[in-house]
Chain A
Amino acid sequence: MGRKTAAFALSLFVAPVISSTGNTSDFKTHFSIAGERYYEDLVIQPLRDGRVISTFTFTTLLEGVSPRDPWDLETPALHLFPLTLGQILREYSITELHLSLNAGKWNYDNWGYPEDPSVSTGAELWAWMADGGPMSIDERWTGLRNALAGLFCASLGSLDSRRTSSPYSAFPLSSVPSPKIGIPYALRYATLPSEHVCTENLTPFLKLLPCKSRTGLARLLNPQHVFDADWHGLGVHVRSTESGVELRLSVQAVLDPVRQSGGKRRDWSFQILFDRTIDAACPVSSWSTARVVVSNDDGYTLSPELPMGDESVAMYDLASQVPLDISMSWPHEHTFPFPLTPPSPLAPLSIKRALHGSSQTHGVLSVALSNNEHGDITIGYLETLPALVTLWMHTIKVEVRGTRRDDLISDISYHPPLLQPNGHHGPSMLQVKLTVPAKSTLRLSIDVTKAFLKYTEHPPDAMRGWDLPPAVLFPVLVDGPVKHVVNDSFVDGIDSRDGYQTIPHRMYTPTLLVDLPTPDFSMPYNVIILSCTLMTLIFGSIFNLLTRKWVIVKVEE
């Protein structure tokens, strides 16, 4: 009891100190606070099918700080940088961290490239860690997963060794922090395609922001509207840049004002999209902007008028323009004419991926990549599959217009599922380099065998099937080893060199559902009941025979 009171008194003593630092930080608003900068950005892009992509980006920059190397123990003071996340990053000395929680399938053809390329369905987590230190990489990975699972209320704890792989080429380290370049870095990558995203993920996410959801752009993040979107996702990206550690929190949503208006109009405003407007800017942000991507051929009206920016982007500064409710309307349009003929795809590649075959034991994984450009496109293709399916490498087949084209596939590397110490199989990893000829469709197919799982390994809804993670397409150099190219060198999305092209960012294929053979789950009970009955019968009669004495009793008259 005495200690408890002492601790309470101590906390009372500490509280004024904290509040006083809070006051000073309020005092120095609009500028970096002790080497920390925070800025937020919203990009709204109306699409031709009436949908609206809104991308919120909240960036915190910790200037002059390098990621903790595993031997280092000091911790810097954090003001704007979320402490809970900062503690996790330091505890497990994470150099780079990318977490995305998305729901829905990103439609590259109609929506184009997303601002934040991490649009894999479900949860995706990858982290780069510097090797060394008292904890091993795998211990830190486990700790990181569980800590993030607790922080974001997600089931990331189940991203265990059965789902973890290290695809170094597709997910490179963005930049090696300047000191101690000699340290080897390790990557851990895992996906959980069946993870869903909901308010419980957004709640802790908003708590990481310095202004929470009270002021600034985050005010618009109304869960009832964000999660009603056709596609929505949260992203957490930590990376080290030349100027320090950068934390980028992003929320993307593809909203559909046409659906909300009953199929009539595509007019949108903050009020329509989010049922909220921005009343005040976040006082600690260095700048907060809202940008609207506009196309110049439409008869639209944008309000408020007089935006900054050029013809393609209208820019609003929250510092001077609050309260703000941007609205865009098409006054001459009575009803929105939905484009009936499929318009030309916005992305250079169209992707289809399917698992064929009616049998529960065998199947064919087939991927169709359609090149919409006038030049060949070379990409890296990465498939990380849990041991639920086994790929048969000798059946890999590449076809263009019905003819085999084995010259289009190169640099095949395959890691079979490895048996791990805990008795589980790790994921298998297939990475190839593909060249998709101009204006044609490349079909890649490979035979798979479906696993026969143990009775206890099935999920509660086993009949639904298992989700397979999406495959990843990543930009590569046309000549040379398969290596993700840092995308700064590509202007306008496409790099045309020697008639060859590649894609500007990572692309994700849709997820798959694999139907595995499921047992009759009540069978064990039937077996137990039957065998118990049999045993009782046998034991009972033998016991009777052995212990009973058969005598003739004379009944006296």
Chain B
Amino acid sequence: MANALGMYRTVKRLGIPDSNIILMLADDVACNTRNKFAGSVYAKAGRHMDLYGENIEVDYRGYEVTVENFIRLLTGRVDPSVPRSKRLLTDDRSNIFVYMTGHGGNEFLKFQDNEEISAFDIADAFEQMWQKKRYNEIFFMIDTCQANTMYSQFYSPNILATGSSEIEENSYSHENDNDIGVSVIDSYTHFVLEFMEGINKTSQVSMQDLFSSYDPVAIRSHAGVRSDLFQRPLDKALITDFFGGVTQAEVFPPAQEDIQTTLSVAEEMQEPETSQHVPGPQVDDYSTLEYHVPGNAPPNATYTLLSGKESEARDTQWKEVRKWTSVLLIASLVTWVSFAR
């Protein structure tokens, strides 16, 4: 559980608000009467930092943490009365970070010691999300035994995945707290979090740096990376693209004007799109636009119809768009305390 809470604290520290984080905890460790330190969960034996803290929102807990709810959450097939805090409200410009931990094995992860989610389930859920335009990029991280098998079945684009251990290999816990009497954190997560400690909102550290920091000797397992589905080079993908709520507004005086004109044009183009659509002679033109929009990424589709000379402004614009809108990040965490692994 400290694994998941450590990740929760990290993404929260990097600026993701609680409303954009979905935390699933199957166990009530913090307020269990067997916890000597009520309301607290620690990730290190010294008990320096309380991960549970005073400000935490757990969205799914207890018996609500099921495979069905997790898949429903990802694919968006939820009951209409389900509140916003229990939904993954993402679109095709959202970057999603999925972190899972628990007991697992070859191509499965156990939920509540009762049911399992298989690698195929997650892969299919991600494909469904891609078809429904529910994500721009996914960063999938898993810490369990034989974790690398969990991402082996992915086939949807723009997914970057990493896991703690290879097939036929266990992931071990990092250290034991003798006062609490259990292992407090897993080795892989511990080193990832340690790496993340050096990251702040403005850092330019890339995913490649994170993956290069994996040390099989220290972690005591071979952490793996799968990047063949991911279209950007790893040294260009920043950690903060997935972990941080970075809203950078860079102002370039000449470009600013261009952007505004582009925007106004875009708005003008879009406004008549629906109104002229039926009666006007340009029905064909606009209907192609309409078909284009759902087919491709919307910003590109819109801008191809604009005058071509503003390509530079478009590039800046595209970057802006990405920066402004790709800060939505969801950590779906499924965990329970591992007593013996």
Contact = CB atoms under 8 A, between A and B. Distances in A.
Contact of A460 (B30, B32, B52, B63): B63
A124 B24 CA distance: 23
Interface in B249-296: 263-264, 266-267, 270
B59 A228 contact: no
A146 B82 CA distance: 6
Contacts of A196: 28, 31-32, 62
Interface in B73-90: 79, 81-86
B17 interface: no
Contacts of B37: 224
Interface in A181-210: 194-200, 203-204
Contact of A222 (B54, B62, B63, B81): B54
A306 to B, nearest CB: 34
A153 interface: yes
B15 interface: no
Contacts of A150: 59, 82-86
Interface residues of A, number: 39
A142 B63 CA distance: 18
A460 B68 CA distance: 13
A227 B39 contact: yes
Contact of B31 (A4, A6, A227): A227
Contacts, number: 108
B112 interface: yes
Interface in A481-532: 521
A11 interface: no
A157 B61 CA distance: 11
A3 B30 CA distance: 44
A103 interface: yes
Q: For B31, B63, B264, which residue has the most chain A Cβ atoms within 10 angstroms?
A: B31
A150 B58 CA distance: 10
Interface string A1-35: 11111100000000000000000000000000000
Contacts of B50: 224
Interface in A220-240: 222-228
Given A146-B81, A151-B83, A227-B31, A1 B38 contact: no
Contacts of A143: 81
Given A2-B263, A158-B64, A224-B40, A200 B54 contact: no
A200 B58 contact: yes
A200 B57 contact: yes
Contact of A103 (B31, B52, B64, B270): B31
A155 B61 contact: yes
B113 interface: yes
Contact of A198 (B39, B63, B82, B114): B39
B299 interface: yes
Interface of A: 1-6, 103, 142-143, 146-147, 149-151, 153, 155, 157-158, 194-200, 203-204, 213, 222-228, 459-461, 521
Interface of B: 26, 28, 30-32, 37-40, 50, 52-59, 61-64, 79, 81-86, 111-115, 263-264, 266-267, 270, 298-299, 302, 321, 325
7 contacts: A1-B302, A149-B83, A150-B85, A153-B85, A200-B58, A225-B38, A459-B63
